[in-house]
Amino acid sequence: MTPSILLTIKIPSSVLATLQAAGEVEQHHGEGDMPPEEILARIGGRQALVCTITNRIDKAIIQAGTDLRVIANIAVGHNNIDVAAARERGILVTNTPGVLTEATADLTWALVLGITRRVGEGERLLRRGEWKGWTLQFMLGSEIRGKQLGIVGYGRIGQAVAARGRAFGMRIAYASRAPQNDPEAEHMPLDRLLATSDIVSLHVPLTDETRHLIDQPALARMKRSAYLINTSRGPVVDEKALAWALKTNIISGAGLDVFEQEPKVEPELLTLENVMLLPHLGSGTVETRTAMADLAVRNVVAVLSGQPPLTPV
């Protein structure tokens, strides 16, 4: 029997062709990705689900997936899926680690340089026609060489961000559950990292433990001259508390690629100059997004042909 696959988003045509060779692919034809009610209505009788971070795959969907063998998320983060519920029913869940590491680390650095050198603020001023010309003291930013880059969560992406930090002459500190084998970086408790770092960059998955990890007390612990960067998941930071910290200069600035309730952004943040805001572009290159879709599809192909998945959660 030909397997049936539910695909919730558009993927590159070359990758879609591979998926279509593995089974009959049911797709959403409207705007954007497949709404939850449609996933719920269409999941029954499908052997595979290919989805992404904007699809909340909850217990109800998983239970309705009576024939489901694999849920392939096109993302490394998998907080959008009730993995425990899937496990209970013997459904495999896969993600896309590795292929997006470098793109996400690059974008993290776009935010580090963008906020410390006031790139967004400068461009906004210029476009408003308010630039009066070069002066010695105009719109000065802050240097990073010789300063401490504090990385919270030292997995693949955290380590790739650290490697770039070394190239920029930064000292690397990191907080993670267990120390890693990296003689060029100092493992330290989160509180100390927050209190001593000039840039704090977040690279943890979203879990019950990391939700609002950066709250008001955490922000208050940071140096007044420090910057916070988040390219992980929005809810790791209490966005209202961050807006307060930026407004009252508890910290110097922030660079955010992710938000608590995407695509909504805490309105106060939109009014502040000392924050750089991007629309969740971490892995957003043609090469990386294609590789992510390709890896998700290869996971489906493997499972449907009785092989173990390449990258199980």
Which residue among 100, 256, 276, 278 contacts ligand GLV (CB under 6 A)?
100
Which two structure tokens, joined as six digits, stand for 84?
């425990």
Nearest to residue 282, comparing CAs of 226, 219, 229? Answer: 229
The answer to whether 271 and 253 are in contact (CB under 8 A) is no
Q: Rule CB under 6 A: say whether 75 interacts with ligand GLV.
A: yes
Q: Rule CB under 6 A: say whether 234 interacts with ligand GLV.
A: no
Q: Rule CB under 6 A: say whether 53 interacts with ligand GLV.
A: yes
Q: Rule CB under 6 A: say whether 76 interacts with ligand GLV.
A: yes
Q: Of 198 and 239, which has the nearer Cβ to ligand GLV?
A: 239
What is the smallest separation between the CB atom of 58 and ligand GLV, expressed in angstroms? 18
Binding mask 164-203 for ligand GLV (x = CB under 6 A): ----------------------------------------
Which two structure tokens, joined as six digits, stand for 190?
């989160």
Q: Of 69 and 289, which has the nearer Cβ to ligand GLV?
A: 289
Q: Of 148 and 176, which has the nearer Cβ to ligand GLV?
A: 176
Kindly calculate the radius of gyration of the chain based on its CA atoms and give it in whole angstroms. 21
Q: Rule CB under 6 A: say whether 160 interacts with ligand GLV.
A: no
Choosing from 24, 123, 262, 273, the catalytic residue is 262
Q: Rule CB under 6 A: say whether 97 interacts with ligand GLV.
A: no
| DSSP state, residue 117 | T
Full DSSP string of 220-246: HHS-TT-EEEE-S-GGGB-HHHHHHHH
What is the smallest separation between the CB atom of 313 and ligand GLV, expressed in angstroms? 12
The answer to whether 304 and 130 are in contact (CB under 8 A) is no
Cα 313 to Cα 42, 82, 178, 239: the distances in Å are 24, 12, 20, 28
The Cα 267–Cα 240 span in angstroms is: 9
Region of 75-83, 105-113, 170-178, 271-279 interacting with ligand GLV (CB under 6 A): 75-83
280 part of the active site = yes
What is the smallest separation between the CB atom of 182 and ligand GLV, expressed in angstroms? 23
31 part of the active site = no
Burial class, 204, CB count within 10 angstroms (exposed 0-12 / middle 13-18 / buried 19+):
buried
Binding mask 243-282 for ligand GLV (x = CB under 6 A): ---------------------------------------x
Q: Rule CB under 6 A: say whether 283 interacts with ligand GLV.
A: yes
Choosing from 69, 233, 289, 298, the catalytic residue is 233
Q: Of 281 and 304, which has the nearer Cβ to ligand GLV?
A: 281
The Cα 172–Cα 151 span in angstroms is: 8
Q: Rule CB under 6 A: say whether 91 interacts with ligand GLV.
A: no
Q: Rule CB under 6 A: say whether 295 interacts with ligand GLV.
A: no
260 part of the active site = no
Nearest to residue 34, comparing CAs of 80, 89, 82? Answer: 80
The answer to whether 239 and 260 are in contact (CB under 8 A) is yes
The answer to whether 31 and 310 are in contact (CB under 8 A) is no
The Cα 72–Cα 19 span in angstroms is: 12
Which residue among 23, 65, 77, 255 contacts ligand GLV (CB under 6 A)?
77
Residues with catalytic roles: 233, 262, 280
Q: Which residues bind ligand GLV (CB under 6 A)?
A: 53, 75-77, 100, 282-283
